[in-house]
Amino acid sequence: MTRFIYSDSGDTAQSRLKTRNAMGEDVYEVLLSQIISLKIAPQERISVDSLARELGVSQTPIRAALIRLEAEGLVVKKHNVGYSAAPTLSARDFEEIYEMRMLLEPAAAEIATRNMNDTVAQRLQQAHDRMCELESEQTKRSYSKFARFDAEFHAIIAEASGNSLIVDTLGRLLTHTHLFRSRRHSAVTREAVSEHSTLLNAMLRGDAAGAKWAMAEHINHSRERIVPFTEAGL
């Protein structure tokens, strides 16, 4: 099966999928990355036509990707206007997200530590390792990839809690996608990597209370990191 080669040599570079055998998944990935990295700005109109030209694909995979992104809350569709990138969240929206995370994620980390097995340990370690690698790159593209692995890292912990309601609730918050659209600071990824490291170590040594504490610390620090941005109206 043909895979796309996605080239992005800089913020102003034309992003181009180098084959016409478009797979919906790849188009989705590119659009998601452009929205997270703010290459497509919040509330900016998204033209199916020009995207098809830019990416060198037909309109079908673009429309499919937009429908998926709409369901995920990253794109909005207005009658007679078409698609645009969703607005970024308000300070109050973020407060609510953090309240919910604080209720659920430390508990999920605690339970997941008690349920720990080799597969979960390996998946967590892999996601963490990828973030460590990306942390040194510091480009917008590596930043959006970091957001994906961060989301994955937290999703693995939620899943490992074995509670599907926790998984669904946290999944609906789309925390990481929103966060990484709002912050573009290198310190964010560096600090997150170090906090993940503390959390992962506690989980791997079977320290459930330590994991619960480390997750709460991570969420608190993450909240502190977002505050200056939301107050600035970003």
Interacting residues toward Zn ion by CB under 5 A: 150
We find the least distance from the C-beta atom of residue 47 to Zn ion, in angstroms, to be 34
CA distance 14 to 30: 12
User: Cα separation of 66 and 121, whole Å?
Assistant: 34
> Helix, strand or coil for residue 59?
helix
- Closest CB to Zn ion among 29 and 150? 150
Q: Least separation, in Å, of the C-beta of 107 and Zn ion?
A: 16
Distance of closest approach, residue 96 Cβ to Zn ion, in angstroms? 18
**Least distance to Zn ion, CB of residue 121, Å:** 17
Indicate the burial class of 110 (C-beta count within 10 angstroms; 0-12, 13-18, 19 or more): buried
CB-nearer residue toward Zn ion: 52 or 216: 216
Q: For residues 155 and 145, what is the distance between their CA atoms, to the nearest angstrom?
A: 15
Residue among 19 and 220 whose Cβ is closer to Zn ion: 220
Based on CB atoms, which residue is closest to Zn ion, 84 or 144? 144
The residue nearest Zn ion at its CB is 150
Q: Strand 82-85 and strand 75-78: pairing? A: antiparallel
Q: How many CA atoms lie within 13 A of 34 on its CB side?
A: 29
Cβ atoms of 104 and 59 within 8 Å: the answer is: no
Minimum distance of Zn ion from residue 215's CB (angstroms) = 9
Which lies closer to Zn ion via its Cβ, residue 110 or residue 150? 150
Structural tokens at position 179: 């966060």
* Cβ-based neighbour number of residue 78 at 10 Å: 9
